[in-house]
């Protein structure tokens, strides 16, 4: 059955893609088989993370990017990641992405991920879904995250280009710098530049980046946008295409492939070790110990366990 689905995946059949994603989300055994089978076909898509505080305009910009990429004949997969929501299927998060517009376009695939159904971490799940879309042949994969917490950072850390969206009035810029998002972002949008305060934010961001980065070309990385009017989208698009060109270079692909390969081996080792460890005997020992008010040191506990 999985073989049929994988065949369907190569033809970009929406149903096969959806089914494979569900299997990967829900079943451990099939999960590994699917991820192993698609692995040779991954690493061809360009992955973009879009992050920023709630309401900054992430969905607005995502919509504009989908349109722009489609105009240039790129196929686009969109993964919406919301660690705070227990709902999947686009009920909450997706409602600002114009999903209905793309119902008939087989080169656009949109999927929401929330905490429900995720066995591993949400970022692992996002990456697995991206790998499926990658293997299906989607040229571009966009991750839209909600907020800027650790899970969101984990998600966007795996992508090729990270767009951080800030807005003049949010005042979140300093907090975000602390949260470590600034370090991993490589394109900064000052969205809602139709509102006052955008010049101030631009200047303080430029200052901050000048101080914290050795790169000279800071200016091209900061783009003032008005999402509702599509202002700035051409500039974002240009920056993304440039980065895509670099990522398509053979050396970059090799390095990426290698580090992904090592990561997958690591993941497998961890999964195998966990499986082996959680025997009924060990579960009972840990359970008993965790109920004791005064807990023994872990080193002593480990002597009792069979590892
Ligand atoms: N004035 C102004 N409003 C904008 C701009 N861009 C987006 N908006 C509005 O801001 C609101 C939030 O936009 P979204 O794109 O949904 O923001 P988001 O970051 O995806 O929001 P969440 O997913 O809820 O975190 C919407 O009402 C948009 O129409 C802009 O450049 N200027
Ligand atoms: Mg949104």
| Ligand 1 atom with minimal separation from the 60 CA | 15
Residues 127 and 57 in one domain: yes
Residues 108 and 141 in one domain: yes
Q: Of all protein residues, whose CA lies closest to atom 32 belonging to ligand 1?
A: 192
Does residue 230 have a pLDDT over 70?
yes
Q: Of all protein residues, whose CA lies closest to atom 28 belonging to ligand 1?
A: 57
Task: State the average pLDDT over residues 229-246.
Answer: 96
Query: What is the Å distance from ligand 2's center to 121 Cα?
Result: 21
Residues 176 and 255 in one domain: no
Give 97-123 pLDDT, tens digit per residue.
666 777 788 899 998 887 654 445 778
The tally of domains found in the chain comes to 2
Top pLDDT among 2 and 72 is at 72
Residues 259 and 216 in one domain: no
Residues 267 and 132 in one domain: no
* 41 to 21, 24, 44: CA distances (angstroms): 16, 16, 7
Give 21-49 pLDDT, tens digit per residue.
989 887 667 888 899 899 989 989 999 99
Query: What is the Å distance from ligand 1's center to 223 Cα?
Result: 16
Does residue 86 have a pLDDT over 90?
no
Task: State the average pLDDT over residues 166-182.
Answer: 70
Residues 219 and 79 in one domain: yes
55, 85, 232, 235: which to mutate for ligand 1, most atoms within 8 A of CB?
A: 55
Query: Which pTM does this prediction carry?
Result: 0.85
Q: List the CATH number of the domain containing 175.
A: 3.40.50.300
> What percent of the chain is modeled with pLDDT above 70?
87
Residues 66 and 149 in one domain: yes
Task: State the average pLDDT over residues 136-145.
Answer: 95
| Ligand 1 atom with minimal separation from the 54 CA | 25
Q: What are the residues whose beta carbon lies below 5 Å from ligand 2 (ion)? A: 58-59, 96
53, 54, 59: which to mutate for ligand 1, most atoms within 8 A of CB?
A: 59
Q: Residues lining ligand 1, CB < 6 A?
A: 52, 54-60, 96, 146, 191-192, 194-195, 226-228
Is the Cβ–Cβ distance between 131 and 38 less than 8 Å? yes
Does residue 247 have a pLDDT over 80?
yes
Task: State the average pLDDT over residues 296-304.
Answer: 89
Residues 64 and 182 in one domain: yes
Residues 281 and 151 in one domain: no
| Ligand 1 atom with minimal separation from the 146 CA | 25
Give 251-288 pLDDT, tens digit per residue.
877 787 788 788 878 878 887 888 899 999 999 999 99
Structural domain span for residue 291: 250-307
Does residue 50 have a pLDDT over 90?
yes
| Ligand 1 atom with minimal separation from the 63 CA | 15
pLDDT of 161 = 93
| Ligand 1 atom with minimal separation from the 191 CA | 31
Give 184-212 pLDDT, tens digit per residue.
889 999 999 999 989 988 988 888 888 87
pLDDT of 118 = 46
User: Is 33 part of any domain?
Assistant: no
> Would you place residue 155 in the very low, low, confident or very high pLDDT band (cuts 50, 70, 90)?
confident
Residues 212 and 291 in one domain: no
pLDDT of 90 = 44
- Average pLDDT of the chain is 85
């Amino acid at each position: 059955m999985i073989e049929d689905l994988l065949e369907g995946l190569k033809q970009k059949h929406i149903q096969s893609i959806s089914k494979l994603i569900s299997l990967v989300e829900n079943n451990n055994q099939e999960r590994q088989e699917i991820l192993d089978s698609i692995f040779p076909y991954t690493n061809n898509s360009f992955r973009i993370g879009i992050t920023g505080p709630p309401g900054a305009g992430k969905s607005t910009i995502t919509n504009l990017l989908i349109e722009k990429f489609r105009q240039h004949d790129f196929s686009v997969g969109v993964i919406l990641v919301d660690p705070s929501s227990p709902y999947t299927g686009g009920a909450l998060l997706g409602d600002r992405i114009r999903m209905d517009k793309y119902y008939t376009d087989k080169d656009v695939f949109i999927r929401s991920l929330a905490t429900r159904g995720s066995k591993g971490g949400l970022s692992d799940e996002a990456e697995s879904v991206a790998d499926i879309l990658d293997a299906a042949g989607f040229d571009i994969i966009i991750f839209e995250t909600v907020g800027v917490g650790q899970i969101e950072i984990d998600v966007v850390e795996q992508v090729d280009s990270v767009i951080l969206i800030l807005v003049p009035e949010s005042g979140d810029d300093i907090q975000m710098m602390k949260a470590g998002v600034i370090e991993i972002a490589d394109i900064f949008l000052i969205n809602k530049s139709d509102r006052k305060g955008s010049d101030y934010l631009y200047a303080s961001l430029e200052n901050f980046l000048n101080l914290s980065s050795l790169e000279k070309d800071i200016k091209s990385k900061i783009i003032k946008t008005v999402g509702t009017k599509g202002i700035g989208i051409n500039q974002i698009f240009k920056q993304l295409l440039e980065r895509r060109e670099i990522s398509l270079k053979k050396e970059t692909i090799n390095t990426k492939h290698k580090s992904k390969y090592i990561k997958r081996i690591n993941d497998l080792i961890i999964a195998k070790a966990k499986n082996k460890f959680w025997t009924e005997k060990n579960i009972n020992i840990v359970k008993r110990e965790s109920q004791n008010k005064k807990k023994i040191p872990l080193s002593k506990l480990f002597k009792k366990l069979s590892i």
